[in-house]
């Protein structure tokens, strides 16, 4: 199978290396020419969970200059960039690639991206995906696999109940690469559940400047967590998410299980980068406005993180 990995951050490098190690043809598309040249020269240096290292050869090009091979059709595009990087230029490139029948796996946090992608990609080729893999990019060609997880994916079409041939092929490829994959026909619910977790952990760790495990350890932060969780859950259930009686306990478990981790939003705040707040809590605020329900906690953390970004 021929896989196009769009984005050479932690997840892009991790999945690119593991798929290439399993014998698949992998092309990494980067934003900078320098990173593409480095990947073509050095490959991906993968540090596995047990500390073993390997160097994996891959093809690489920039997103804007990549031209498909007329003789070898791409099977899947793994979209591993943040929502903020879904530029018009990238969307046009995706439109060209999917016109030949290539399927898309969208791994973005938050909501809104699938509606955007649906404007340029045939909806039957568009798949939402959620991953719990842990990865840390060391430099432009090196990645550390920090924690095993699952990738769950499925069609964004609500009436699509049977797995398609490309989905079955991808699932088989994941198994062959030692990646735990699961197919779901309830991806909207899966995306909303991931959003509920991100909407609490990401902004609050960014605001308070603490790691995941520290977040619930102080009473006032715990009250923020509880209020934000209750409000976000209420809005998402109103939008169609199935209510889960254990969602609060699951949130606390994730904080404990990832205690030493810095959330992606905290890392972005500390580095002075644009965060994904507009598509996480901002996405919930947009849902609330559409349904005409209040969202004061989400509005508050949205404003606070936006202020930190500005500063």
Inter-residue contact 76 to 88 (CB < 8 Å): no
Please give the pLDDT value at position 70: 65
Please give the pLDDT value at position 68: 80
DSSP 186: -
Q: pLDDT tens string for the chain (311 positions)? A: 999 999 999 999 999 999 999 999 999 999 999 999 999 999 999 999 999 999 999 999 999 899 887 657 789 999 999 999 999 989 998 998 898 889 999 999 999 999 999 999 998 999 999 998 888 899 999 999 988 889 999 998 766 678 899 999 999 999 999 999 999 999 999 999 999 999 999 999 999 999 999 999 999 999 999 999 999 999 999 999 999 999 999 999 999 988 888 898 999 999 999 999 999 999 999 999 999 999 999 999 999 999 998 77
- Spans of all domains in the chain: 2-185, 189-310
* Homologous superfamily of the 2-185 domain (CATH): NAD(P)-binding Rossmann-like Domain (3.40.50.720)
The secondary structure of the chain in percent helix, strand, coil, rounded to multiples of 5, reads: 50, 20, 35
Please give the pLDDT value at position 198: 96
Which CATH code for domain 189-310? 1.10.1040.10
- Which of 88, 96, 108, 119 minimizes the C-alpha distance to 153? 108
Please give the pLDDT value at position 240: 94
C-alpha distances in angstroms, 197 versus 35, 144, 151? Answer: 32, 24, 16
DSSP 262: P
Inter-residue contact 78 to 4 (CB < 8 Å): yes
C-alpha distances in angstroms, 200 versus 48, 61, 279? Answer: 30, 36, 13
Please give the pLDDT value at position 148: 85
DSSP 241: P
Inter-residue contact 27 to 60 (CB < 8 Å): yes
């Amino acid at each position: 199978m021929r896989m196009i990995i769009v984005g050479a951050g932690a997840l892009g490098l991790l999945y690119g290396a593991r798929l290439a190690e399993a014998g698949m043809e992998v092309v990494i598309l980067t934003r900078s020419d320098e990173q593409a040249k480095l990947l073509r020269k050095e490959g991906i240096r993968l540090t596995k969970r047990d500390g073993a290292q390997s160097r994996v050869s891959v093809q690489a090009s920039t997103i804007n200059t990549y031209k498909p091979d007329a003789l070898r059709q791409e099977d899947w595009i793994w979209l591993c960039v943040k929502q903020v990087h879904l530029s018009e230029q990238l969307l046009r490139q995706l439109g060209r690639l999917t016109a030949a029948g290539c399927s898309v796996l969208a791994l973005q946090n938050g909501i809104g991206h699938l509606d955007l992608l649906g404007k340029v990609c045939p909806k039957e080729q568009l798949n939402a995906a959620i991953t719990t893999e842990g990865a840390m990019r060391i430099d432009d060609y090196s990645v550390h696999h920090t924690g095993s997880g699952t990738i769950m994916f499925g069609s964004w079409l609500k009436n699509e109940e049977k797995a398609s041939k490309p989905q079955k092929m991808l699932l088989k490829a994941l198994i062959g690469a030692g990646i735990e994959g699961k197919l779901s026909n309830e991806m909207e619910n899966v995306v909303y559940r991931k959003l509920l977790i991100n909407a609490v952990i990401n902004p609050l760790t960014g605001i308070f400047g603490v790691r995941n495990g520290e977040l619930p350890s102080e009473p006032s932060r715990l009250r923020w967590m509880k209020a934000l969780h209750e409000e976000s859950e209420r809005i998402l259930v109103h939008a169609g998410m199935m209510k889960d009686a254990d969602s609060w306990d699951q949130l606390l478990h994730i904080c404990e299980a990832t205690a030493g981790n810095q959330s992606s939003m905290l890392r972005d705040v500390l580095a002075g980068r644009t965060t994904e707040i507009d598509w996480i809590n901002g996405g919930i605020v947009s849902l609330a406005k559409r349904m005409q329900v209040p969202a004061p906690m989400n509005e508050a953390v949205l404003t606070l993180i936006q202020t930190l970004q500005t500063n």
